[in-house]
Amino acid sequence: MTELKYISGFGNECASEDPRCPGALPEGQNNPQVCPYNLYAEQLSGSAFTCPRSTNKRSWLYRILPSVSHKPFEFIDQGHITHNWDEVDPDPNQLRWKPFEIPKASQKKVDFVNGLHTLCGAGDIRSNNGLAIHIFLCNTSMGNRCFYNSDGDLLIVPQKGKLLIYTEFGKMLVQPNEICVIQRGMRFSIDVFEETRGYILEVYGVHFELPDLGPIGANGLANPRDFLIPVAWYEDRQVPGGYTVINKYQGKLFAAKQDVSPFNVVAWHGNYTPYKYNLENFMVINSVAFDHADPSIFTVLTAKSVRPGVAIADFVIFPPRWGVADKTFRPPYYHRNCMSEFMGLIKGHYEAKQGGFLPGGGSLHSPMTPHGPDANCFEKASKAKLAPERIADGTMAFMFESSLNIAVTKWGLKTSNCLDENYYKCWEPLKSRFTPNSRNPAETN
């Protein structure tokens, strides 16, 4: 595979043209009477026209045919995609899923769209407020099919298998330990090379941003220069029998036929683009004296709500780092949170639960549902010698955290057959260690 090229920077105003058509970008204007190479000009708006300049998102695409050149959309089966948060009764228990099973290619061909399964979510698509968490399980490429989402942005986290993603802006190769964001309305198609699995965070009505750094200063966490945007690439390809464009609209799937590939954009400019990021580039900040910084210090991207400091969703990672806190219980603390916490594991072993929480699985701790280290972790960490140590080497866990009260779907609770019914047992060995006659527990040893 030829090495792909990218433009560096988060949210930048960028311009790109396929080198096969030099000068394809109009000079000095967006919409000339006749575009270079007789292309069509098309604007893709990711925000209202009148949004403040700092949040205004749009790109101009110069393409062989405009995207309106298709037959009417018709409803198609939506498989396991849902935005019905009342399918089953709510469950306040700690929930954990074993690795979600990928269908065998020898038994049934399943591409990215057919392999989408909604696990949980909250909010309302029509009012542009909410989120959904999906699992994708696929074993074949999309071929002459593409997908776009009218409902929100998709943050894609591959866990097993790399993704070659064709977009209207160019091509991206996204591998495990990388993420990508395909923003609302952008058409894309995915090639896979093996049985493939991953996680998706979908947000409605808002876009992902870099978190504010406050007293951290100008540098740290996910640095803007490490986000990569594809460069323009086009194919002028007729598709005998028709190319299928699949749209998710108000939570339902629709399909339309057209005669050509949708990836016919010769040049583009703007700040509304897809992008990818390598999680290894995250600059970790951590406590160097005592106690914990809250896990918000590991935020890669945030989708803000209208309430200051409160997110519709945060994407948080727990990367390899040094643990040096003195006089401190170093694993994650026991916690009851007003937020919903979904966790996934890309690779390795999560420090608070060495067993049971496996790559390709997940967990959900709902608002005010208690959670924390299992009994074995607590026992070891309470007695450990507090020397500087490496934490999470070879591991990448992540969290989708939300201010919304997330509901689990029927597929998540029942149909997937992956729910770990014994999750609660990891805390059963915890016992009282109370020493009422000795303030210093060391005196009783």
Active site residues: 292
DSSP 261: -
Are the CB atoms for 171 and 4 separated by under 8 Å? yes
Which positions ≥6 away from 375 have C-beta within 8 Å? 426, 427, 428, 429, 430
Give me 234's structure tokens: 């086009």
Q: Is 350 annotated as a binding residue?
A: yes
439 CA to centre of own chain: 46
Which positions ≥6 away from 219 have C-beta within 8 Å? 213, 283
Q: Is 341 annotated as a binding residue?
A: yes
Establish how many alpha carbons lie within 13 A of residue 174's alpha carbon, considering only the half-sphere containing its beta carbon: 31
CA pair distance 26, 267, nearest whole angstrom: 9
Q: Is 335 annotated as a binding residue?
A: yes
DSSP per-residue codes, 138-205: E-S---SEEEEESS-EEEEEEEES-EEEEETTEEEEE-TTEEEEE-TT--EEEEESSSEEEEEEEEES
Which positions ≥6 away from 379 have C-beta within 8 Å? none
The neighbouring-strand residues paired with 123 are 130
User: What b/e sequence results for 127-145 when a residue is b if at least 16 CB atoms lie within 10 Å of its CB, and e otherwise?
Assistant: eebbbbbbbbbbbbbbeeb
CA pair distance 402, 122, nearest whole angstrom: 9
94 CA to centre of own chain: 22
Q: Is 134 annotated as a binding residue?
A: no
CA pair distance 187, 413, nearest whole angstrom: 31
Annotated binding residues for homogentisate, written as ranges, equal: 350, 371
Annotated binding residues, written as ranges, equal: 335, 341, 350, 371
Annotated binding residues for Fe cation, written as ranges, equal: 335, 341, 371
